[in-house]
Structure 1
């Protein structure tokens, strides 16, 4: 009998750790459940309190004619069913309504095909968008009163729907855009269509 080993049984090791202890640690770690993944944060109600967001999707100005394309994005959880035209009120810098006649289609302001197409139903699912537009002339002929300049819009999906104030800004640089109606006092509306 070897005096150094005495009667102790031989114990195999793995990397200096007794084999039975290594197997025990391996078995325990294999049975331990992985920690649950943190829940995906749901969108905050504050991030989209009305369920819709507006943005300027395009602008065009030529020879006094103005076209402003507005995009609505459904940031809610339910699909929106749109048909016809939004409700639009032009507001001044203090959010007071301005005396502007808002008509459906081009309203005789100018022949613009997109404004005079027949309205069709549009379904806007969460995350999807629809567009509408504003059409007016910047003509100032009545110098007895100051020109009408709108800085904000009160928008609703349909007439009588809950309104939301929107301040148009240029996409890209955030420059404020005005509804510079001069002395014309007329605004045409494009019907809702699915965003391209």
Structure 2
């Protein structure tokens, strides 16, 4: 029978392994703990994210319920000039929210959530769309703060900044989807300069047949309660608002083949003089008379001008 090796001999064989292990530990200790731009620990240890409840009164049935923060701070503790580690990374900050539909019809919500520092400053705004929330229903979800600059102060809170909601059957189609009509209508974020406001309306033929328009989009201005707004004159063309300032081609027929797009432009000024300033959050758009309506949210701050210009549809190639 084979005898076990003497204790001294066995220990002798393990010394090289233990020495290597000790050397590795010493090297890690000398390097210290490194943190990326999101506050996540790298070599030397890690911390679990901290989730805290948020006291957010919310707006229109939408509120932030909790905030998950990486531990320690999302601010970097060491710089790595000239290396990949110096690039901003996802902050790891996540806000949980809930949407409660207190109305009587199915709604689609667009929500802006702002992530804040301790002094209340906005560090990041993120937009989420929550579709098809039925009457009396509650939908919960999360949104990430995303990539923040390395110099961003520590995020400590989040709240709902803005809510828009429209009937789901009139909401713009989700990106990458095509309505049964084969036509997708949407509005861009627009541009503002020297008091002149410009928002583009986009008409995409995502179907399988040609689609023709001739002239101007059909518009209806709506208030916060999606009720008709009176007293605003809608002008054909943008010349009455900004002569020569927009691409204002004469109205004429435009035929879109599948995959092609057309563009029209809303143009206005926010000048305020005598009278009451008018804000129009929603516009119901029909590509042409009889077409299915789509409600967009350009937030028209019309001041006291009492007018809005809209250009004719033109090919997006023009």
TM-score (norm 1): 0.63
Q: Which residue of 1 aligns with 2:296?
A: 167
* 1:123 positional shift: 1.0
Deviates more, 1:147-156 or 1:107-116: 107-116
Q: Which residue of 2 aligns with 1:132?
A: 264
Q: Which residue of 2 aligns with 1:73?
A: 204
Q: Which residue of 2 aligns with 1:185?
A: 306
Higher relative contact order (CA 8 A, sep 6+): 1
Cα distance change, pair 140–113 in 1 and its aligned pair in 2 (3 A):
closer
Cα distance change, pair 49–91 in 1 and its aligned pair in 2 (3 A):
farther
What's the secondary structure of 1:76's corresponding residue?
Answer: coil
Pair 1:50 & 2:181 matched? yes
> C-alpha root-mean-square deviation of aligned residues, in Å?
2.1
What's the secondary structure of 2:190's corresponding residue?
Answer: strand
Once the two structures are superposed, residues 31-85 of structure 1 have per-residue CA deviations (whole angstroms, 9 ceiling, x without a partner) of xxxxxxxxxxxxxxx9503332122346221121111111111223321111211
Partners of 1:47 and 1:105 in 2: CA distance: 29
Pair 1:156 & 2:286 matched? yes
Partners of 1:69 and 1:191 in 2: CA distance: 11
Aligned residues: 140
Segments of 5+ residues of structure 2 without an aligned counterpart are: 1-176
Q: Is the 8 A contact 2:249 2:314 kept in 1?
A: no
Q: Is the 8 A contact 2:203 2:287 kept in 1?
A: no
Q: Which residue of 2 aligns with 1:92?
A: 223
**Whose radius of gyration is greater, 1 or 2?**
1
Q: Is the 8 A contact 1:149 1:182 kept in 2?
A: yes
Partners of 1:129 and 1:165 in 2: CA distance: 16
Q: Is the 8 A contact 1:154 1:163 kept in 2?
A: no
